[in-house]
Structure 1
Amino acid sequence: MTISRRQFVGGVAGSGIASMAAPSLSSAQAAGPVRIGLLAAKTGPLASGGIDMDLALTMYLKERDNTLAGRKVELIVADTAGVPATARTKAQELIEKNNVHCLVGPLAAFEALAIADYLTEKEMPTVGVAAAEDMTQRHPSPWFVRPTSTSAQCAYPLADYAAKDLKYKKIVTIADDFAYGHEMWAGFQRGFEDAGGKIIQKIFTPLATPDYGSYVAQVKGADAIFLGTAGANGFRFLRQFIEYGLKDKMAVIGGMTALDESVLRNMGDEAIGIVTTSWYSAELDNTPNRKFAPAFRAQFKYDPGFYAAGTYVAGAVLEAALKATGGKVEDKKAFMAAIRGSNADTVRGVVKFDEFGNAVGDVYIRKVTRKEGRLVNSVIKTYPNVSQFWTYDKAEFLKNPVYSRDYPPAKNLEQ
């Protein structure tokens, strides 16, 4: 795999970009382009998400004439293929060969964990998309922020909603068998059981599972099944779940990528009514999203979801930081400090970072409905200012192991 280069040659900066503390436009341009490296899984089982990451960040830059804070921007995209070793190799190429000033990405939790120490060693400002918990918990890096969420951050409100609003008592969970699936499942289990419910069965499936039939056959009777899936896995599982006649017997609810907008475009009425959770929906009614979602849909013929919004938000965070520093991206410490304090107004709302570099923001409970002939994730409830620690005491939370396949232990499994 090769790294593709895009040299964006745009017009002059728009009015209001440079602050009084910023250098003049000519001096900013003389400093050369800001080189942004994007780590995106554009091939492999997570390719749909990686492609959306590329499309949305490219779109963000083009909308601004490929100029941020008076400086031209060069976007260099590396395909990680959803493989940890490849993600590390590509990160090294971007930093040591292409001399990027900052990184966006990668997509998958296991990719982020594979490059975390290297990014800190190289003091590389990084705006993450992957949800790996410990990158903003027990092992935070001063060079990393995440404007999206941890794996479990959006699962807590869904667990609360399932127990208190939907009145579910027993739930079966099925999740992808890698870090993201483990952490999302664990957060959902903890939140649901703390709210009075029981997880009676947990099933983990390989990331590249072509046939879910054997797993569907194992599903026990419950009020609902929780999908902790990424990419197209939620769609493939749901299709076979319906073929086995189970959707008429139990409800389906899902994590933030289970029925992402990029997945919904391939589905039909079988998805209607399914409840999911996320920090974003293409249906959000705020000023940046009223522009972004229709523009993305007009260009690519489907709504933006988690992955597209993730890099579009990253673009806004980077732009706010560049404006705050007058475009002086070469001063890495000042630039990183500006990223952490950016409070950018984005398509998900205003992004605020906690002391660990993770976003604190609204989380939405969504229901699949049909609108103007297409399936959308309509917002039905908002949980405001959700922290990665939910309602738990932060100090006590961090004393425990990171969420995993076996932690916290499932105490209500039925044999």
Structure 2
Amino acid sequence: MKTIKQYALTSMFVAGLAAGSVAQASSDPVKLGLMLPYTGTYTALGEAITNGLELALSQHGNQLGGRDVQYVKLDSEANPSRAPQNMSRLVRGDKVDFVIGPVHSGVAMGMLRVAQQTGAITIIPNAGLGAATNELCQPNVFRTSFSMWQDSYPMGKVAYDRGHRRVVTITWDYAGGKEDIAGFEESFTAAGGEIVRQILVPFPNTEFQSYLAQIASDRPDAVYTFFAGGGGVSFVRDYAASGLKDSIPLLGSGFLTDGNLAAIGEAGEGVLTTLHYAETLDTPQNRAFVEAYQAAYGQLPDTYAVQGYDTGMMLIQAMEAVGGDTSDREQLIEALASVELDSPRGPLSFSRSHHPIQNVYLREIRDGRHEVIDIAYENLEVPDEACRM
């Protein structure tokens, strides 16, 4: 695969041969179709992704490859049943050049079907279902976020290295939760650990008392969990209130606490999580990003914001490489696949299946902040063996 610099030189040569067509293309705006939740439970996530994307493009004159940018925003409502219709509206009706979305993995499944039918270039800035860049991978589909496996797998070795040998895992009984704990269980058992019990809670139940009593009776060395949103807040608070926190360390995917620190409060102190970003990451790139985001929106960025930001930076780099020409899909896809970013989250590139290769950080809640205490896994690539493209 060419590097982005090599591809840029090739693109400049091509652009020189076809200056007329590129000049014509450059007179029209690049249409970005945003299929994200702007109402309902996941509104904050959709807004954070949009904010990050718009910040990246504003820092580059709101242009892609010398062309102005036009946003076409469509509320996904996090509703999987409407996903094919909404995706078709953006691609066939609004004729967008890129589709950016979704947040919800169920919505992604519907979008992927239309992406396959139409060839629309689609960038997933959040949904973590593994199949998107594995069984259902497509040349025109990219991910700038994560998979459930990628953020949970490193915690298995962390747990074992910290002396934990017997662990209980607990999550909701749905695909995302089961994919997450599977990643942890894979690495923990490979290291020599034992899963004492796997607890699957009916989704979206947040009544955890009976399960916590079960954990207390099992007396494991640690508990690993995946819950998110209000469920994450309830679980962490109930875990602390039950008294388990003082004797059985709580480990989890970063989504357990991301965006929830204020609501969790003191109950979260000392909880360990693994995730591909933390707002306290001490690098020049992240310090600059946090400062710019706070100046623009009056709040700290989160993981969702940085995923939107990197989507924008990916588009900027690829569109510069092809001289702003979106007419040659194969060249544009190659340019996107060749992107390498010095991201606020750390170095970011893309695997053969178009999944991000990135660091996963070990974070501990200290004084109400996610403090990065180590790199749990450097440049982790997801094993997407089922991808055929």
TM-score of the two chains, using structure 1 as the length reference: 0.82
1:344 is aligned to 341
Q: Given the superposition, is the C-alpha separation of residues 223 and 39 from structure 1 closer, same or farther in structure 2, using an over 3 Å criterion?
A: farther
2:146 is aligned to 149
Counterpart of 2:352, as a letter, is E
Q: Given the superposition, is the C-alpha separation of residues 171 and 48 from structure 1 closer, same or farther in structure 2, using an over 3 Å criterion?
A: farther
How big is each residue's C-alpha offset from its partner over 1:171-221, in whole Å with a ceiling of 9 and x where there is no partner? 122223332211111111111111111122222335543544444344343
Give the 5 Å matches for 1:12-161: 27=23, 30-128=26-124, 129-161=126-158
1:293 aligns with 2:290: yes
2:178 is aligned to 182
1:323 aligns with 2:320: yes
Question: What number of residue pairs does the alignment pair up?
Answer: 370
1:334 aligned to 317, 331, 334, which one? 331
1:386 is aligned to 380
Structure 2 CA distance for aligned equivalents of residues 207 and 60 of structure 1:
36
> 1:125·1:144 contact (CA, 8 Å) conserved in 2?
yes
How big is each residue's C-alpha offset from its partner over 1:229-267, in whole Å with a ceiling of 9 and x where there is no partner? 23332112111222222222311111131111x222333
Counterpart of 1:383, as a letter, is Y
1:196 is aligned to 192
How big is each residue's C-alpha offset from its partner over 1:39-95, in whole Å with a ceiling of 9 and x where there is no partner? 223334333322321222222223333222211111222222222113333222211
2:311 aligned to 311, 314, 318, which one? 314
How big is each residue's C-alpha offset from its partner over 1:369-394, in whole Å with a ceiling of 9 and x where there is no partner? 23xxx5234242342121112xxxx7
RMSD of aligned C-alpha atoms? Answer: 2.5
Structure 1 CA distance for aligned equivalents of residues 211 and 75 of structure 2:
31
Q: Percent identity?
A: 28
- After TM superposition, give the deviation of residue 111 of structure 1 in Å: 2.1
Give the 5 Å matches for 1:253-292: 253-260=251-258, 262-292=259-289
Structure 2 CA distance for aligned equivalents of residues 38 and 206 of structure 1:
32
1:221 aligns with 2:215: no
- After TM superposition, give the deviation of residue 339 of structure 1 in Å: 0.6
User: Where does structure 1 lack aligned partners over 5 or more consecutive residues?
Assistant: 1-18, 400-415
2:3 is aligned to none
Structure 2 CA distance for aligned equivalents of residues 340 and 71 of structure 1:
21
Structure 2 CA distance for aligned equivalents of residues 28 and 168 of structure 1:
62
Structure 2 CA distance for aligned equivalents of residues 66 and 207 of structure 1:
41
1:9 is aligned to none
- After TM superposition, give the deviation of residue 159 of structure 1 in Å: 0.8
Q: Given the superposition, is the C-alpha separation of residues 96 and 114 from structure 1 closer, same or farther in structure 2, using an over 3 Å criterion?
A: same
1:364 is aligned to 361
1:163 is aligned to 160
- After TM superposition, give the deviation of residue 352 of structure 1 in Å: 1.7
Counterpart of 1:378, as a letter, is V
Aligned residue for 1:335, secondary structure, equals helix
1:237 is aligned to 235
Q: Given the superposition, is the C-alpha separation of residues 173 and 49 from structure 1 closer, same or farther in structure 2, using an over 3 Å criterion?
A: farther
Q: Given the superposition, is the C-alpha separation of residues 180 and 83 from structure 1 closer, same or farther in structure 2, using an over 3 Å criterion?
A: same
Q: Given the superposition, is the C-alpha separation of residues 251 and 118 from structure 1 closer, same or farther in structure 2, using an over 3 Å criterion?
A: same
Q: Given the superposition, is the C-alpha separation of residues 181 and 154 from structure 1 closer, same or farther in structure 2, using an over 3 Å criterion?
A: same
Structure 2 CA distance for aligned equivalents of residues 289 and 50 of structure 1:
21
Q: Given the superposition, is the C-alpha separation of residues 70 and 158 from structure 1 closer, same or farther in structure 2, using an over 3 Å criterion?
A: same
> 2:57·2:316 contact (CA, 8 Å) conserved in 1?
no
Counterpart of 1:99, as a letter, is K
- Give the structure, 1 or 2, with the largest relative contact order (CA under 8 Å, sep 6 or more): 2
Q: Given the superposition, is the C-alpha separation of residues 176 and 34 from structure 1 closer, same or farther in structure 2, using an over 3 Å criterion?
A: farther
Structure 2 CA distance for aligned equivalents of residues 344 and 173 of structure 1:
34
TM-score of the two chains, using structure 2 as the length reference: 0.87
Q: Given the superposition, is the C-alpha separation of residues 66 and 28 from structure 1 closer, same or farther in structure 2, using an over 3 Å criterion?
A: farther
Counterpart of 1:304, as a letter, is P
Aligned residue for 1:167, secondary structure, equals coil
Counterpart of 2:153, as a letter, is Y
Counterpart of 1:132, as a letter, is L
Q: Given the superposition, is the C-alpha separation of residues 352 and 86 from structure 1 closer, same or farther in structure 2, using an over 3 Å criterion?
A: same
Structure 2 CA distance for aligned equivalents of residues 76 and 256 of structure 1:
31
Q: Which range moved further: 278-287 or 210-219?
A: 210-219
Q: Given the superposition, is the C-alpha separation of residues 384 and 47 from structure 1 closer, same or farther in structure 2, using an over 3 Å criterion?
A: same
2:300 aligned to 299, 303, 319, which one? 303
Aligned residue for 1:290, secondary structure, equals helix
Q: Given the superposition, is the C-alpha separation of residues 209 and 63 from structure 1 closer, same or farther in structure 2, using an over 3 Å criterion?
A: farther
> 2:32·2:100 contact (CA, 8 Å) conserved in 1?
yes
User: Where does structure 2 lack aligned partners over 5 or more consecutive residues?
Assistant: 1-10
> 1:54·1:77 contact (CA, 8 Å) conserved in 2?
no
